[in-house]
């Protein structure tokens, strides 16, 4: 692992690091904010998974999460959204290829050699983080925006007991029935739709739900509502009697202005779950 940068922020340190990833067969970059409390011992970890076209940097710079995490004594990790570099497949469509890993393990060419973001985020990067930094593995939460919200919800429901809390900002809720899902799953996973279900938050909610508190925020003026399908997840939560909160925020769109507005709520939500 190599240090790209480390900057003092809110009494803690915002770092950026690169490492050679076995899962993605390329160098990967992530951001990690450690609050001042980490100087005295392991601190809880909140994952933030970003959306289409993003790198590790978007949420790290725009979401305003460090201020609230510093007050709560929580570390934040900002993984990249896909493999990158020379020899890594790409596509002119911004919703496929580099910047659009969709948090799945691709099984189809030309994506399979590098696009293994599920293994990277759920296995390889956690092992690196908990070995290298003062982080409490037993106290984790996960959140994300858009494609990252999809990743946060599907990962949270797929690893019972790992995360004490889960939240999402404008997640892609039902990708198996959306233009943000069907083309990408076809490309990465093939045309057998039975393999897609494990990566659809609405279907996972209907089948198993999440074993902890859940918070979802969605803007009513989001320009991508038809692709996000929030109503499907809300109905699934109600049907599964999932404990949690689904909020439609009047007038907000899909941007980081929306994310940063409600970031304090989400960090506080996770902090309360960590205390429990």
d(CA 181, CA 237): 20
- Residues 143, 167 contacting (CB under 8 angstroms): yes
At 20 the three-state DSSP class reads strand
Q: Cis check for the bond before 110: say yes or no (omega within 30 of 0).
A: yes
Indicate which residue of 145, 150, 174, 254 is catalytic. Answer: 254
146, 165, 167, 178: which is the annotated catalytic residue?
Answer: 146
Active site residue 5: no
Structure tokens at 267: 């960090």
Cα radius of gyration rounded to whole Å, the chain: 17
Does the active-site annotation cover 158? Answer: no
56 is catalytic: no
DSSP secondary structure string, 89-119?
Answer: ---SSTTSBTTB-TT-B--STTTTTT-BHHH
What backbone phi and psi angles, to 5 degrees, belong to 239? -65, -40
Kindly report the number of other CB atoms within 10 A of residue 195's CB atom: 14
Structure token digits, residue 231: 């109503």
Q: How far from the centroid of its chain's Cα atoms is residue 165's Cα?
A: 13
Q: Are 180 and 153 in contact (CB under 8 A)?
A: no
Closest among 189, 194, 198, 145 to 168, alpha carbons compared = 145
Give SS3 for 109. coil
DSSP 27-47: EEEEEEEE-GGGGSS-EEEEE
Q: Which residues are known to be catalytic? A: 146, 222, 254
């Amino acid at each position: 692992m190599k240090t790209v940068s480390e900057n003092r922020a809110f009494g803690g340190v915002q770092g950026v690091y690169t490492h050679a990833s076995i899962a993605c067969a390329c160098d990967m970059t992530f951001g990690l904010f450690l609050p001042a409390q980490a100087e005295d011992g392991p601190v809880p970890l909140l994952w933030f998974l970003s959306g289409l076209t993003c790198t590790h940097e978007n949420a790290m710079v725009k979401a305003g999460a460090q201020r609230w995490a510093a007050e709560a004594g929580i570390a934040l990790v900002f993984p990249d959204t896909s493999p990158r570099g020379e020899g890594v497949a790409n596509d002119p469509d911004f919703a496929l290829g580099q910047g659009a890993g969709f948090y799945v393990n691709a099984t189809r060419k030309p994506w399979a050699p590098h696009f293994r973001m599920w293994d990277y985020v759920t296995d390889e990067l956690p092992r690196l983080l908990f070995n290298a930094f003062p982080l409490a593995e037993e106290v984790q939460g996960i959140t994300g925006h858009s494609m990252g919200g999809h990743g946060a919800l599907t990962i949270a429901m797929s690893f019972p007991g790992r995360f004490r809390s889960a939240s999402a900002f404008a997640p892609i809720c039902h990708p198996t029935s959306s233009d943000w899902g069907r083309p990408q799953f076809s490309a990465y996973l093939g045309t057998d739709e039975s393999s897609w279900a494990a990566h659809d938050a609405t279907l996972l909610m209907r089948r198993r739900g999440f074993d902890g508190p859940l918070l979802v925020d969605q803007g009513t003026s989001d320009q991508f509502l038809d692709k996000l399908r929030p109503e499907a997840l809300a109905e699934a939560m109600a049907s599964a009697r999932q404990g949690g909160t689904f909020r439609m925020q009047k007038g907000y769109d899909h941007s980081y202005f929306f994310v940063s507005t409600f970031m304090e709520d989400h960090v506080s939500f996770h902090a309360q779950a960590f205390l429990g």
